Amino acid sequence: MLRLKKIRSIAAAATLAMATLAAASMSGCAASNSNGKIIAIFFPKERAVKAADSVIDDIMGVSAMPAIAPAPAPATGATERRVIEVTKK
């Protein structure tokens, strides 16, 4: 009797789980591609930007189309001291 109850519990939970996954897929939250991998329904803009940059790098070469120049390194204490010394002179 107890075993039957357990089986019924598992069956009910599994049914609910399947129904929920189906609902998630239908509502557009997630889906599987042809490889069975779960993919996002919504367009992943950030990842698309990274992918585009990578493709553009391959086509143009990094030196031909440079990305934004890296920000200058923050001033260190030593640099600040030198600036002060020069100003004093």
Binding residues (CB under 8 A) for another protein: these are 5, 8-9, 12-13, 16-17, 20-21, 24-25, 29-30, 33-35, 37-41, 43-45, 47-56, 58-60, 64-67
Q: Which is nearer to another protein, 10 or 83 (CB)?
A: 10
Rounded least distance, CB 1 to another protein, Å: 13
Q: Which is nearer to another protein, 31 or 75 (CB)?
A: 31
CB atoms within 10 A of CB 24: 14
Rounded least distance, CB 11 to another protein, Å: 9
Quick check: 38 and 30 in contact, CB under 8 A? yes
The CA–CA distances, whole Å, from 38 to 3, 17, 32, 67, 77 equal: 34, 16, 4, 32, 50
Distance between CA atoms of residues 30 and 16, nearest Å: 17
Q: Which is nearer to another protein, 37 or 88 (CB)?
A: 37
